[in-house]
Homo-oligomer: A and B are copies of this chain.
Amino acid sequence: MKKVLAEILTIGDEILYGQITDTNSQWMSAELDELGVKVIRKTTVGDTELDILEAFAQAEERADIVLITGGLGPTNDDLTMPMLAHYFGSEIIMNQDVLEHVQDFFERRGRTFTELNRRQALVPEIAEVLHNDLGTAPGTWYERNGKVFVSMPGVPHEMKNLMKKLVIPKLRDFFQTPVIYHKLVKTVGIGESFLADKIKDWEDSLPDHISLAYLPSVGHVKLRLTAVGHDRQILKEEVQSKIDALLPLAEKYIYGYDDMTLEKAIGEMLLAQDKTLALAESCSGGYVQHKITTIAGSSEYFQGGVVPYHNDHKINLLGVKPETLEAHGAVSEACVKEMAEGVRKAFNADIGAATSGIAGPGGGTPDKPVGTVWIAYADGNQTVAKKLQLTQNRLLNIELTEISVLNLVRKSLKG
């Protein structure tokens, strides 16, 4: 099958001058890639008639699909609609459906509808209008000689909504592209190459139409399974059976799928087990508690915590023994275990977890260089601690400590 080719065209001076970041085109590229469409060029031009027309012509010559964003405001420097009308030899007309939508949109928000706003409803007569339920500028769709032009607003959430709801399904129909099904498997606590080693035989067993990608980020590795075929339900079942076969090999590292986060996964485990958590954070400085409390409803299972940045407070608030600090220092197995046990008691929680380390850049010693971190978990039955040897970078050390201690809690909850 001949590969369908696409170009992405962004229109707007504000992108050329570096005033705003273009996140749209990466997102569109990834969506097209999932559709099996190959993006061959991205172009950004300013609000200039000739540049826009030239870009249209060059893109049409090279590609089957031209996706255009931007230049759809109601003012005179917004040229996309008039240039599309010119390019396709069409008149500009007032579209009644769009006009009503725009009027309604303004009324609902209690904003004044002006003469200028009416211009949002001006579209090339030849265009098929794509209804933009999140904004006032409509999408438009053009077909000529087996090729497709699509114009969309540049506002990211409006563009994404239009793409997902209308453009992708229409492109799939028009070009008869195959169905693609993705599933993300999220792992923590194992590096990419170790994970790849562990699941090598499983990976080799994947059929040709299911591919695997490793997507590493700080402390995490995501596995993306991509299945290509004709029936979404069959692909979904095939992928699920492959994940079932993966579990025995990697279950201890997997904390969830697709949009799941580590802090959310722990919250769900705590809720399911009817347990509460408290935290004592020294080197991580409150970041673990911040991550936990970003989850709506975390007050159901999170009792609270302490950041005992100075050693005095480890003693006063958490009951760490002065002898422990004297004999081993704050960055030690003994201290971090007493912190976890202490915060559990102080907050009357089922589980206590703790961090203590040298985030850097200062504070390192030959024995305990920057990046030395202890983490601990205590639940009344057992107290476990783990030593980490992290990096020279303070912010990275804070983030890696957070992921590691949350993972320690997750593994302990899993039993």
Residues in chain A within 8 A of chain B (CB atoms): 10, 15-23, 25-33, 38-46, 48, 51, 58, 279, 281, 285-290, 292-294, 296-299, 302-310, 312-313, 316-317, 346-348, 359-363, 394-395, 398
Contacts and interface: CB of A to CB of B under 8 A. Distances in A.
Contacts of A10: 42
A285 B296 contact: no
A7 B335 CA distance: 58
A177 B33 CA distance: 42
Given A41-B16, A41-B45, A306 B306 contact: yes
Max chain B Cβ within 10 angstroms of own Cβ: one of A22, A40, A44? A44
**Chain A at the B interface: SS class:** mixed
A313 to B, nearest CB: 5
Contacts of A346: 313, 316-317
Copy number in the complex reads 2
A128 B363 CA distance: 45
Given A18-B27, A41-B45, A293-B398, 6 more contacts: A21-B23, A41-B46, A285-B290, A286-B289, A286-B307, A294-B395
Contact of A286 (B29, B42, B290, B317): B290
Closest 8 CB pairs of A and B: A285-B293, A18-B29, A286-B289, A18-B30, A286-B286, A304-B309, A42-B44, A286-B290
A389 to B, nearest CB: 18
A128 to B, nearest CB: 26
Contacts of A286: 281, 286-290, 293, 305, 307
Contacts of A296: 360-362, 394
Contacts of A16: 29, 38-42
Q: Which of A38, A58, A296, A309 has the most chain B CB within a 10 Å cutoff?
A: A309
A304 B304 contact: no
Contact of A310 (B58, B288, B303): B303
Given A17-B30, A18-B27, A42-B15, A289 B302 contact: no
A10 B10 CA distance: 15
Interface centre among A19, A285, A299 (most CB of B within 10 A): A285
B313 A308 contact: no
A40 B29 contact: no
A317 to B, nearest CB: 7
16 contacts: A15-B29, A16-B38, A18-B28, A18-B31, A19-B30, A22-B25, A41-B46, A285-B294, A286-B305, A289-B307, A296-B394, A299-B309, A305-B309, A306-B307, A316-B346, A317-B317
A335 to B, nearest CB: 15
A40 B22 CA distance: 15
